[in-house]
Amino acid sequence: MNGSLVIVGTGPGKPELMTPATRAALAEATDLVGYGPYLDRLPSMPGQCRHASDNRVELDRARHALALAAAGRKVAVVSGGDPGVFAMAAAVFEAVESGDPAWGSLDIRVEPGVTAMLAAAAEVGAPLGGDFCAISLSDNLKSWATIERRLRAAAEADFVIALYNPASKARPHQLGEAFTLLRTVKDGTTPVLFVRAAGSADSKVVATTLAAADASVADMRTLVIIGASTTRRVGRWVYTPRGAKP
Q: Is position 58 an interface residue for a second copy (rule: CB under 8 A)?
A: yes
Q: Is position 126 an interface residue for a second copy (rule: CB under 8 A)?
A: yes
Q: Is position 41 an interface residue for a second copy (rule: CB under 8 A)?
A: no
Contact positions with a second copy (CB under 8 A) in 150-169: 150, 152-154, 156-159
Beta strand ranges found along the chain (DSSP E):
4-9, 31-35, 49-53, 74-79, 107-110, 125-126, 132-136, 160-164, 191-196, 204-209, 222-226, 232-234, 237-239
175's CB contacts (< 8 A; 6+ apart) are 137, 163, 166, 167, 215, 218, 224
Q: Is position 191 an interface residue for a second copy (rule: CB under 8 A)?
A: no
| SS3 category, 240 | coil
Q: Is position 121 an interface residue for a second copy (rule: CB under 8 A)?
A: yes
Closer to a second copy by CB, 172 or 242: give it: 242
Question: Residue 245 Cβ, how far from a second copy at the closest point, in Å?
Answer: 9
Closer to a second copy by CB, 138 or 218: give it: 138
Q: Is position 80 an interface residue for a second copy (rule: CB under 8 A)?
A: no
Separation between Cα atoms, residue 181 and residue 4, nearest integer Å: 45
Q: Is position 199 an interface residue for a second copy (rule: CB under 8 A)?
A: yes
